[in-house]
Structure 1
Amino acid sequence: MRRRLVLALGLLAVLVALAGCASPFGGGGPDDARLNQNATYDWDTNATTTYDVGRGNFTGILGVENESYVPLYQRSELGTDEPLDVASLRYRYPDNGTVVAPANRSNFHVNATNSRLNVTLPAAGGQVAFTADRPNAKRFAVPMFIDSAHSVEVVLPPQARVGVPLLSKVSPGGSTSRVPEGSDRMLVRWESAERGPILTRYYLARDLLLFGGIGGVLALVGVGGALYYLRQIRVLERRREEIGLDVETETDEFDDDDPPPGMR
Structure 2
Amino acid sequence: MRRKHLLALGALVLAAALAGCGFGSSEIPEDQLNEQATYDWDTSADATFNISRSSYATVVNVSNETVEVWQRDAIEGDNPVNLRALQYRYENGTVVNASHGNLSATRDGDKTQISVPEAGGKVAYTASRSGKQFSTPVFIEGSHEVILPPGARVGIPLLSQVSPGNWNSTVENDRMTVRWGNLSDETINTRYYLERDLLIFAALAIIALLVGTVGGLYYFRQIRGLESQREEIDIDIDYDDDDFGDDGPPPGM
TM-score interval, smaller chain: 0.7 to 0.9
Residue 74 (structure 1) aligned with residue 71 (structure 2): yes
Tell me the amino acid that sits aligned with residue 129 of structure 1.
A
Residue 119 (structure 1) aligned with residue 114 (structure 2): yes
- The residue correspondences of 1:216-235 to structure 2 (distance < 5 A) are 216-235=206-225
Which residue among 171, 188, 193 is the counterpart of 1:198? 188
Residue 173 (structure 1) aligned with residue 165 (structure 2): yes
8 Å contact from structure 2 (residues 139, 184) kept in 1: no
Cα distance in 1 for residues equivalent to 2:209 and 2:170: 31
Aligned to 2:99: 103
Cα distance in 2 for residues equivalent to 1:35 and 1:206: 36
Aligned to 1:156: 148
- 1:223/1:151 Cα in 2 relative to 1: closer, same or farther (>3 Å)? same
Tell me the amino acid that sits aligned with residue 204 of structure 1.
L
Residue 91 (structure 1) aligned with residue 88 (structure 2): yes
Identity %: 45
Consecutive unaligned residues of structure 2, counting only runs of 5 or more, are 247-253
1:81: how far off? 0.9
SS in 2 for 1:104: coil
SS in 2 for 1:207: helix
C-alpha RMSD over aligned residues: 3.1
Cα distance in 1 for residues equivalent to 2:207 and 2:20: 52
Residue 142 (structure 1) aligned with residue 136 (structure 2): yes
- 1:223/1:3 Cα in 2 relative to 1: closer, same or farther (>3 Å)? farther
8 Å contact from structure 1 (residues 110, 117) kept in 2: yes
8 Å contact from structure 2 (residues 143, 182) kept in 1: yes
- 1:105/1:19 Cα in 2 relative to 1: closer, same or farther (>3 Å)? closer
1:230: how far off? 2.7
1:167: how far off? 1.8
Consecutive unaligned residues of structure 1, counting only runs of 5 or more, are 255-259
TM-score by length of 2: 0.80
- 1:211/1:5 Cα in 2 relative to 1: closer, same or farther (>3 Å)? farther
Cα distance in 1 for residues equivalent to 2:200 and 2:2: 65
- Measured against aligned partners, the alpha-carbon deviations of 1:154-173 in whole angstroms (never above 9, x if no partner) come to 11122222222222221212
- 1:158/1:191 Cα in 2 relative to 1: closer, same or farther (>3 Å)? same
Tell me the amino acid that sits aligned with residue 44 of structure 1.
D
- Measured against aligned partners, the alpha-carbon deviations of 1:185-243 in whole angstroms (never above 9, x if no partner) come to 22222233344322221222222121211111111112222223333333344444442
Tell me the amino acid that sits aligned with residue 124 of structure 2.
A
8 Å contact from structure 2 (residues 89, 121) kept in 1: yes
TM-score by length of 1: 0.77
Tell me the amino acid that sits aligned with residue 211 of structure 1.
F
Aligned to 1:31: 29
Cα distance in 2 for residues equivalent to 1:4 and 1:68: 47
8 Å contact from structure 1 (residues 172, 195) kept in 2: no
Residue 57 (structure 1) aligned with residue 55 (structure 2): yes
Deviates most, 235-244 or 96-105: 235-244
SS in 2 for 1:28: strand
1:62: how far off? 0.7
8 Å contact from structure 1 (residues 92, 99) kept in 2: yes
SS in 2 for 1:229: helix
Size of the aligned set, in residue pairs, is: 242
